[in-house]
């Protein structure tokens, strides 16, 4: 989150407040005011928990009084596409592995497994739900080695991150 002040007379600190519904706000970060009479520029990194969140800035003076900035709505469709894991890894004796992930995407996706040389060893269609997903992958028919697993949505975008799998 970024903001600029024009002056900071008696300014003590700024608190960023976040809300999922635009009604109930929770403080998520705070920074002390620099106190510059000509104003300052601020920047804080805030984790957004959902694809839509509301933000406001609570501006607190040294005497404890405060005012709020106007509310800003921030949307993203990538915030939960980042999480993905595979278990177990490395694989020693299991014939199945489990790919777990969260996504904002819903619809069909292609599961692709390639070997270290880039050759596809598996390609199948999966139905993906918005939110938490688990896919069981049978790997008993692939040889020992290093593999890369990825999910591609219908627009060609990678869901989550490419996962490295080692089968011993």
Residues 27-40: b if buried by 16+ CB within 10 A, e if exposed: ebeeeebeeeeeeb
Structure tokens at 126: 């999966």
What pLDDT does residue 163 have?
92
Q: What is the pLDDT along the chain (168 residues), one digit of tens a residue?
A: 788 888 888 999 999 999 988 899 999 999 999 988 888 888 877 777 667 889 999 999 999 999 999 999 887 655 444 578 999 999 987 789 999 998 888 899 999 999 999 999 999 999 999 888 999 999 988 999 999 999 999 988 888 888 999 999
CATH 2.60.40.3080 residue spans of the chain: 84-167
Task: State if pTM tops 0.75.
Answer: no
**39 and 5 Cβ atoms separated by less than 8 Å:** yes
Widest pairwise Cα distance in the chain: 70
State residue 81's pLDDT score.
44
- The sign of the torsion formed by the CA atoms of 37, 43, 46, 51 equals positive
84-167 classified as CATH 2.60.40.3080: yes
What is 2-75's CATH topology? Immunoglobulin-like (2.60.40)
């Amino acid at each position: 989150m970024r903001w600029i002040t024009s002056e900071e007379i008696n300014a003590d600190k700024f608190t960023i407040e976040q809300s999922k519904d635009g009604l109930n706000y929770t403080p998520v970060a705070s920074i002390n005011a620099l106190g510059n009479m000509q104003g300052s520029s601020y920047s804080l990194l805030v984790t957004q928990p959902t694809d839509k969140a509301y933000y406001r800035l609570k501006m607190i003076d040294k005497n404890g009084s405060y005012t709020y900035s106007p509310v800003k709505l921030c949307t993203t469709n990538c915030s939960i596409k980042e999480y993905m894991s595979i278990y177990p890894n490395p694989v020693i004796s299991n014939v199945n592995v489990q790919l777990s992930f969260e996504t904002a995407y819903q619809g069909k996706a292609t599961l692709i497994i390639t070997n270290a040389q880039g050759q596809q060893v598996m390609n199948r269609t999966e139905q993906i739900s918005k939110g938490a997903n688990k896919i069981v992958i049978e790997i008993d028919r692939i040889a020992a080695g290093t593999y890369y697993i990825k999910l591609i949505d219908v627009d060609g975008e990678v869901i989550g991150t490419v996962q490295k799998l080692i089968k011993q």
